[in-house]
């Protein structure tokens, strides 16, 4: 019996082929799939496609989720892919996403970015519409194999990312995103990668207690001091309520991370203790919670 047919379907890799017209959003799509946890390969040459298939078959490639972007810059790609299609279909849970857009939209996108069409780099030079038509004809064989054909003419970048999240997210990421809780010190400037910032400088400062000054908010004595301020627990409760409200909204937007910052003066005491408590609370209900102390060791 063919050894390919013996493959346990539960152990099959998930392989998404992203192809389609230049200017239709392939680069955005491959980056979005990378954010979703796929191992991404962009513009694999036709001479390596057979080796890729062989590596899947021999299990040399260990990644369980792979996204492969193919385009018409390599004119042999359509034929080579057709030659490997059946084997890849048997070895993997294979999905082919073909992206397209109207001529007018593709022309507009190239003019806005002032980039050259990838098929217009060799002599004789083609007009933009000629390059678009050549792209369409070249990729027709792969388009005919596609599971999904998506017209991005009227889609924003965010809408395309949302589509990919809804249709290609791995099971855990469809329901959850990573909640990243970051403590920091305002004296070192607030990090620029945060979605929301809470300022906790209004609470009692352990820095002014000599026996606590050299410790951080990870120390139980510092935490006890911070939470002895009877305003801290109501603050925690309100932050938890707000994050629980915002979390599904961020998820619906196709986001993969929700980063909240907790800032105090030096990022050593109050922000650390409060961030740890928030992380403890959210870990009771959310699968992906990370806590990071940016400035705790700088004081």
Domain boundaries, the chain: 3-174, 176-293
pLDDT at 299: 64
Q: Which CATH superfamily is domain 3-174 in?
A: P-loop containing nucleotide triphosphate hydrolases (3.40.50.300)
pLDDT of residue 10: 54
For 27-71, write each residue's pLDDT tens digit: 999 998 998 889 999 988 888 999 999 998 888 888 899 999 999
Per DSSP, the three-state class of 204 is coil
Q: Establish whether 76 is an annotated binding residue.
A: no
**69 labeled part of a ligand binding site:** no
pTM over 0.75: no
Q: What sign for the dihedral angle of Cα 257, 262, 266, 267? A: negative
- Taking the C-alpha atoms of residue 37 and residue 151, their distance in angstroms, rounded to an integer, is 24
Q: C-alpha 196: how far from its chain's center?
A: 19
Q: What pLDDT score does 3 carry?
A: 43
Q: Is 21 annotated as a binding residue?
A: yes
Kindly report the average pLDDT of the chain as a whole number. Answer: 88
3 state SS of 180: strand
User: What pLDDT, on the 0 to 100 scale, is given for residue 168?
Assistant: 85
Q: Tell me if 24 is assigned to a ligand binding site.
A: yes
Residue bearing tokens 């513009």:
43
25 carries a ligand binding annotation: yes
Q: Tell me whether residue 246 is annotated as binding.
A: no
User: Which pLDDT does position 35 carry in this prediction?
Assistant: 82
Is residue 102 marked as binding? no
pLDDT of residue 2: 41
42 is in an annotated binding site: no
Tell me whether residue 23 is annotated as binding: yes
Q: Give the 3-state secondary structure of residue 28.
A: helix
Question: 72 a known binding residue?
Answer: yes
Q: Where are the alpha helices (DSSP H) in the chain?
A: 26-35, 46-57, 77-91, 103-113, 128-143, 157-168, 171-175, 220-227, 232-252, 270-282
Residue 237 annotated as part of some ligand binding site? no
Query: Which two tokens mark 116?
Result: 């050259």
Residue ranges of the chain with pLDDT lower than 70? 1-10, 122-123, 171-175, 299
Alpha-carbon span 178 to 175, nearest angstrom: 11
Residue 53, annotated as binding a ligand: no
At 123 the pLDDT is 63
Backbone angles phi, psi at 279, to 5 degrees: -60, -40
């Amino acid at each position: 019996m063919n050894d390919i047919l013996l493959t346990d379907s539960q152990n099959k890799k998930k392989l998404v082929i992203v192809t389609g017209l230049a200017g239709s959003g392939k680069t955005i799509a491959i980056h979005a799939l990378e954010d979703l946890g796929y191992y991404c390969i962009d513009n694999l040459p036709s001479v390596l496609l057979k080796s890729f298939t062989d590596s899947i078959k021999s299990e040399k490639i260990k990644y369980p989720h792979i996204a492969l972007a193919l385009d018409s810059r390599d004119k042999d790609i359509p034929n080579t892919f057709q030659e490997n299609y059946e084997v890849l279909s048997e070895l993997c849970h294979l999905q082919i996403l073909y992206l397209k857009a109207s001529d007018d939209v593709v022309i507009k996108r190239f003019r806005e970015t002032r980039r050259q069409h990838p098929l217009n780099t060799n002599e004789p030079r083609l007009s933009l519409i000629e390059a678009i038509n050549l792209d369409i004809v070249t990729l027709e064989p792969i388009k005919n194999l596609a599971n999904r054909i998506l017209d991005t003419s009227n889609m924003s970048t965010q809408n395309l990312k949302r589509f990919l999240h809804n249709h290609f997210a791995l099971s855990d990421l469809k329901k959850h995103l990573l909640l990243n809780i970051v403590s920091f010190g305002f004296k070192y400037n607030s990090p620029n990668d945060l979605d929301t910032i809470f300022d906790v400088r209004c609470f009692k400062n352990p820095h002014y207690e000599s026996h606590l000054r050299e410790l951080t908010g990870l120390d139980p004595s510092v935490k006890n001091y911070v939470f002895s301020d009877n305003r801290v627990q109501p603050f925690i409760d309100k932050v938890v309520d707000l994050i629980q409200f915002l979390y599904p909204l961020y998820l619906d937007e196709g986001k993969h991370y929700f980063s909240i910052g907790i800032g105090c003066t030096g990022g050593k005491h109050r922000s650390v203790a409060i961030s740890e408590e928030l992380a403890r609370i959210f870990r009771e209900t959310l699968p992906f919670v990370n806590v990071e102390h940016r400035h705790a060791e700088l004081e």
